Structure 1
Amino acid sequence: MKRISSILSGMSIAISLAAASPAYAWGPIGHRVSAEIAERNLDGRTRAEVTMILHGETLAELATVPDEMRSDPDKFWQETSPPYHYVTLPKGVDASQLHHPPQGDAITALDHYTKVLRDPAASIDDKKLALAFVVHIVADLHMPLHVGNGTDRGGNDFKVNWFGQPETLHWVWDEGLILHQQLSFSEYSDRLERETTPEQQVKWWVPTPTVWVEESAQLRDSIYPATGPDQGAGTIESPVNLSWDYAYKETPRMEHRLAQSGVRTAAYLQWVFADK
């Protein structure tokens, strides 16, 4: 694989989301919000470990790399890494029974890159790539449709009209609800962190991926429009119309998960770099 420093300097950020696959979650603003909140909540030891890897960059800058590099023709980005962004948990199945396919998924990738971060022999370039994936994957697992139900590619096959524009339910949660707020990632980070209470932060401080997956699966099953995929709605022939009512109902739940992902990223990194 190319050195991560060369990858980062030459990466292309012109990614088409028109044909979204289950590899993208939150979009760049959402990932930067999550990473910014995480960086603000790192303790001293963890901050020092992360700073040595970042070399002057920020977590918010690094967090979008696993999506941005999907334009790179390298086999790793085109074939190996796409499954690292999601898991499949059918409705009614407990997260403890999560099946990991041979090509891997977000959980197996998180485990792999956690080991890289803990490996004293790993290069800074390898650790930088690992940190990018860890921060990115924690956020991905908090996006409900990145815990797919195994039937519609994480809502990518569920067609909707979002304020009159043809989109997918996945895109609505990936970017639509966030873009609707018309805030920069720093403005959004400020607001979500300001609204997070100390009690919530303590309660959310859970560095356990299966907990995040279970939460996302439970939320996922309630965010489909009332017509639902089981009734055949959301097809290209009959998309569901979503606008103000859906945005009003679902934006608070989206923001809840986004804020949680930032706190959990800090909690997970603190766990990763703790003395063992």
Structure 2
Amino acid sequence: MRIMLLLAAAAVALPAPVLAWGKTGHRVIGAIAQPYLEARARAGVKRILGAETMAEASNWPDFMRSAPDPFWQRTAGPWHYVTVPPGKTYRDVGPPPEGDAVTALQSFSATIRDRKASLADKQLALRFIIHIVGDLHQPLHAGNGTDKGGNDTRVTFNGRPTNLHSVWDSGLVDNEQLSYSELATWLGARITTEDARVWMTADPNVWIAESTAMRDRIYPATGEPLSYQYVFQNKARMEERLEKGGVRLAAYLNTLFGPVR
């Protein structure tokens, strides 16, 4: 596909990080976003995805990372995260040469707006946009540049050896023992009109700044086993990131499919 060739030209081979939010978290964000879509965005999503829901589309970029094609094994890996060292902002550091989640979001958005782009390119682009917005609301996908977004920080969670990234990808979410639709319904019902108004921003710099600030508060003491106390301390944080991710996904798509300014 044309977009693959354009983006691959700037990429370098890098190891792929652990997936973000896991399947449940990404689906929750897609489901929460749905009722906040404006008419143009609803129609645009339907035109591109057909019967495929945003919850269904949200995990496709992670699923495809097992495909043997070099595009998936090398090129697309950096598009799931950003790196922001402590004390810096994303505006301070910008993207690396191989690109990152922000540059991918920009490129895929241009594809959605391109009247000459094929339906297949637009489907790839929209699935990635849905996924990337979710990724940028997972605090460890705004990595500090020292431990691969928590992948190298070994911990035990509920008595099992894992890493901090995995705890935030799926451990905290799956600990609720809810389906994605149950969790999305519960969280969506808590979002007030005022919450949605305040959170409704399509600026990735805002999302990244929030994730970076939270990232620096969720690292446990070295050797500390993570169990009920860690869940108690971070459950509300995790839920808020999912809620905001859904509202911001809608905000981004409303802007993307809205009138050209």
- Using the size of structure 1 for normalisation, the TM-score is 0.88
Q: Deviation string for 1:218-273 (max 9, x for gaps)?
A: 00000001x2xxxxx3xxxxx43100000011011000001100000000000001
Tell me the secondary structure at the aligned position of residue 251 of structure 1: helix
Which stretch of the first structure deviates more once superposed, 90-99 or 260-269? 90-99
Residues 116 and 2 of structure 1: CA distance in aligned 2, closer, same or farther (over 3 Å)? closer
**AA matched with 2:174:** L
Distance 1:21 1:175 in 2: 17
Shift of 1:21: 5.1
Kindly indicate whether the alpha-carbon contact (under 8 Å) linking 1:21 and 1:153 is maintained by their aligned counterparts in 2. Answer: no
Q: Please, which runs of 5 or more residues in structure 1 have no aligned partner?
A: 5-19, 228-232, 234-238
Unaligned runs of 5+ in 2: 5-14
DSSP 3-state at the match of 1:161:
strand
**Partner SS for 1:242:** coil
Give the letter for the 2:178 counterpart. L
What letter corresponds to residue 119 of structure 1 in structure 2? D
SS class of match (1:186): helix
**Share of identical aligned residues, percent?**
48
State whether structure 2 residue 150 is matched by structure 1 residue 166.
no
Contact 1:33–1:189 (CA under 8 A) maintained in structure 2: yes
Give per-residue Cα distances to partners, 1:27-73, cap 9 Å, x unaligned.
00000000111122111111011100011111111110010111100
| TM-score of the aligned structures, taking structure 2 as reference length | 0.93
2:61 aligned with 1:101: no
Structure 1 vs Structure 2 CA RMSD: 1.6
Conserved 8 A contact 2:36-2:247: yes
Task: Give the aligned partner of residue 116 of structure 2.
Answer: 121
For the 8 Å contact 1:34–1:259, the answer to whether it is kept is yes
What's 2:256 paired with?
272
Matches within 5 A, 1:184-195: 184-195=179-190
CA contact (8 A) 2:16 2:78 kept: no
Q: Distance in 2 between matches of 1:40 and 1:68?
A: 26
- d(CA) in 2 for partners of 1:36, 1:181: 17
Segments of 4+ moved more than 3 angstroms: 1-4
Q: Is the 8 A contact 2:18 2:165 kept in 1?
A: no
Given that residues 23 and 85 in structure 1 are in contact (C-alpha distance below 8 angstroms), is that contact kept between their aligned partners in structure 2?
A: no
**Matched residues, number:** 250
Q: Which residue, 32, 39, 42 being the options, matches 2:34?
A: 39
- 1:201 corresponds in structure 2 to 196
Q: Deviations over 1:157-214 (max 9, x none)?
A: 1111101100100000000000000000000110010011111000000000011011
Determine the structure 2 residue equivalent to 1:7: none
In 2, the alpha carbon distance for the partners of 1:203 and 1:95 equals 21
Deviation of residue 83 (structure 1)? Answer: 0.2
Q: Which amino acid aligns with 2:149?
A: G
